[in-house]
Structure 1
Amino acid sequence: MLDQTRPGPRTKTQRRPQDPARTRAAILEAASSLLAKDGPEGLSVSQVAQLAGVNRGTAYQHFQTREQLLEATTAWVSENLRRAVFGDGSSVHAVAPSDPQWVVERMAGFAMENPELGRAWLFEVLSSSQPASDPFWHHYKTLFEKFARSDRAQPGIDTEVHSVIMLIGTFLWPVFVRSRARTARERQELVQRFTNEMLRLSLSGTMRPEEFPELQAKMPQVAAAKKPRR
């Protein structure tokens, strides 16, 4: 007869150790949902723990303060944005994105799919005293600075101002779209309109059009005249 007073063999579930990386990812995913819904003010470690389905004490082991959680969530969103736009590679090798249309379209697409989250992320980055620590900002601005130093760019570009203008336009455009588009097709058409205009402005301002003949061919309304260097 089995001795009921002695503990039986431990099950696989009981023996399985916790996966800290998976727990952290679940917490950050839940935090991003709250960040999109309620903004930075609505973020708290206890609420995030409840939404993520983890013990509150476990959540505090990963993030002891709300500030730590907000900083980590912002970086997590930024890394997802960086991967959505630039892929999985972590190094910045190119002088500039080989296809500017690719970058603009994917930025606009991410903004359309994550409108509230994108705006919350952008606010945190722009209000930060060290925006260069943000993964996407660092990657995007580094690429743009390399492009601005190349022969393919117009002279005198203020890369920081231009980067801010591009990001503000990209992540506020969904506000305009939401009030006018009812279907997925209409939203996609407005994303394409935004992409085309950003590229047209770039061809007229930051890029030397003759260096981008394929892109210029897609924009017949852009004058082909070469702007003289000063």
Structure 2
Amino acid sequence: MIVALLNQKGGVGKTTLALHLAGELARRGRRVTLIDADPQGSALDWSQQRSREGLPRAFGVVGLARDTLHREAPELALNADMIVIDGPPRVAGLMRSALLAADLVLIPVQPSPLDGWASAEMLSLLTEARIYRPQLAARFVLNRCAARTVIARETAETLADHDPPVLSSTIGQRVVFADAAQTGRLASEIAGDSPAAREITALLVEISRLGIGRIAS
């Protein structure tokens, strides 16, 4: 099973969600490999920081920022229960390869006016990939949501009947996610019963209910 976090727009929280979904899957006993397909290598940096802090490895992290990803990811999947891809911004060839590799695409978006939540190019690439992968599933994920904002509600309502649709689980703008990125930790390790940790758990539960492969036990 391969889940890819993708969006042409940078700064929407792809790496944060990829790391935390991989961490939650690993916490549930799954063998997980995270593929860092972003040339910036933020997930690899996180993994190296974790090692410097003397923390145990949570899951494997592999750098694979090349457009042969759709051929190499399935090979890595032979030795893992789950592959999570942290995708690149604004690299069309890499994006196409990640789309062709994935079983499920999650598109993180921040609450914003209609013209800000997704680029036409991202949706065009998704449509193109479905020519070759008609069963490719995709969902928007509202990320970095301030609590009870009108714009978050309006964005969710706008996407409710969209293709791809939006998941009902949302991820808040949490300081603990920034702390996790800097320290090589996960939100659940910093504060196990924090809103951030609960949101990641709820997100994984909702994804598992989509019935796409065996995402969570």
Give the TM-score of the pair, scaled to structure 1. Answer: 0.24
Please tell me whether Structure 1 or Structure 2 has the larger radius of gyration of its CA atoms: 1
The structure with more helix, counted as a fraction of residues: 1
The structure with more strand, counted as a fraction of residues: 2
